[in-house]
Each structure stands twice: as C-alpha cells, then as structure tokens.
Amino acid sequence: MAIAKRFIAGAICPRCAEMDRIRSWEQNGIRYRECVSCGYFEQLAIEEEKAPELATRVNRPREEQDRQDVQPVRILDPKAR
C-alpha cells in the first residue's frame, strides 16, 4: 500500500528557504519530512505526550476569573477642567 505524502501549507525549508516545498508522512511510528526542491530530509519520532494547554480566559474555571482584581473605569468629562 502506498503511503500518502502530504505537502505542508506555508512550511519553509530549513535548508533552501523555499516555501510550500515540504511534504510529510508517517510510517512505523516515525514522521518524515522532505523538501522536494533541495532534497532536505528529516526523521522525527512521534511523541505521544501533548503539551499542556495554555490557560486563557476561555478555558479557566469561572472562580479563577472572578478572583482577579477588578477596578471600575472612571470616565472623565473633558469640559470639566
């Protein structure tokens, strides 16, 4: 069975700096990347552990969001000088 090699949109080759010339595929638990312009080739072990998700206001519990210091905004009248 043929292995599907896919181009990576927007990827820049580290050797020749050409854009959209890198293709990638996986085989036997190893990820491969190669440049079709200059022949650059790289093997990457597929890591099962994912990086932890960054905390944002969207994915934090509501209690953490409420604990932040909240300060009211005072609107100044520019004519009151």
Closest CA to 21 of 4, 30, 8, 3: 8
How much is the mean pLDDT over the chain?
A: 84
Q: Look at the pTM and tell me if it is higher than 0.75.
A: no
pLDDT digits (tens, 9 = 90+) for 23-51: 999 988 889 999 999 999 999 887 766 77
- CATH architecture for residues 1-46: Single Sheet (2.20)
